[in-house]
Amino acid sequence: MRTVNRIAAVLLALVLVAAGLLVVVETVSALAGHPWPIPASWRARLASTAVSDRGVLITSIVVGLVGLIALVAQLVPRRPQRLRAAVEGGTWWVTRRSIERRSADAAAQGAGVHHSKVVVRGRPEQWRVRISGEAPPHRFDAAEESVRDELSHLGAPENLTVSRSLRRLGRVA
């Protein structure tokens, strides 16, 4: 969504710059006595258009709504794409998806969790991790421990919150 917002902002900026340049060129050419680039018939109509006219009102409402939607879309919090990890030499940045995949693989291989999925949320400095999948009940703690071990290898913060929503693995016939 951020990409769409950036494209919309660039398009709006280009329209505003073009309109501003048109006004400057029109003003300078009118002061010089040779009105250009707007034809005289359009200029007369624009000069007689009031702010309370229906077209101006509808255009103002549409532009205002588009701006409000873009503002609200930018204010919606999103999951960070990069997370801060602590290593011996300082800090480094790891992508959220790679942390999720490696942690899910650790749960699957280390604890035998089927359909394992790990979701990382929170701020770049403070993570919250949620483990889900299917496993035998006696492997629930092992799954959490495997994920915690993998996260510590990746340089996760010390105050890491790990929650799990593991389902009991169904019987195999």
On whether both 103 and 134 belong to a single domain, the answer is: yes
CA distance 99 to 110: 16
C-beta separation of 166 from 141 below 8 A: no
On whether both 71 and 88 belong to a single domain, the answer is: no
On whether both 136 and 71 belong to a single domain, the answer is: no
On whether both 92 and 157 belong to a single domain, the answer is: yes
Choose from 76-80, 97-101, 108-112 the range with maximum mean pLDDT.
97-101
In this prediction the pTM is 0.60
CATH number at residue 130: 3.30.70.1350
**Residue that terminates a domain, selected from 43, 75, 107:** 75
Asked if residue 173 belongs to a domain, the reply is no
Give yes or no for residue 91 having a pLDDT over 90.
Answer: no
On whether both 93 and 155 belong to a single domain, the answer is: yes
**Residue that terminates a domain, selected from 48, 75, 102:** 75
On whether both 89 and 154 belong to a single domain, the answer is: yes
pLDDT band at 171 (very low <50, low <70, confident <90, very high): low
C-beta separation of 158 from 132 below 8 A: no
- Per-residue confidence (pLDDT) for residue 18, from 0 to 100: 94
- Per-residue confidence (pLDDT) for residue 44, from 0 to 100: 80
pLDDT band at 172 (very low <50, low <70, confident <90, very high): low
CA distance 79 to 124: 9
**Residue that terminates a domain, selected from 29, 55, 75:** 75
Mean pLDDT of 90-96: 86
Please tell me whether the peptide bond between 137 and the residue prior to it is cis, using omega within 30 degrees of 0.
no
The mean pLDDT value of the chain amounts to 86
Mean pLDDT of 79-94: 83
Domain residues for the domain of 26 are: 2-75
Give yes or no for residue 20 having a pLDDT over 70.
Answer: yes
**pLDDT tens string 27-40:** 888 888 877 787 77
CA distance 61 to 68: 10
Bridge partners, 87 (sequence order):
90
CA distance 111 to 134: 11
Q: Give me the number of domains the chain comprises.
A: 2
Q: Which of 137, 131, 123 is nearest to 163 (CA)?
A: 131
C-beta separation of 85 from 95 below 8 A: no
Q: Which two tokens stand for residue 128?
A: 């919250």
Which one-letter amino acid corresponds to residue 25? V
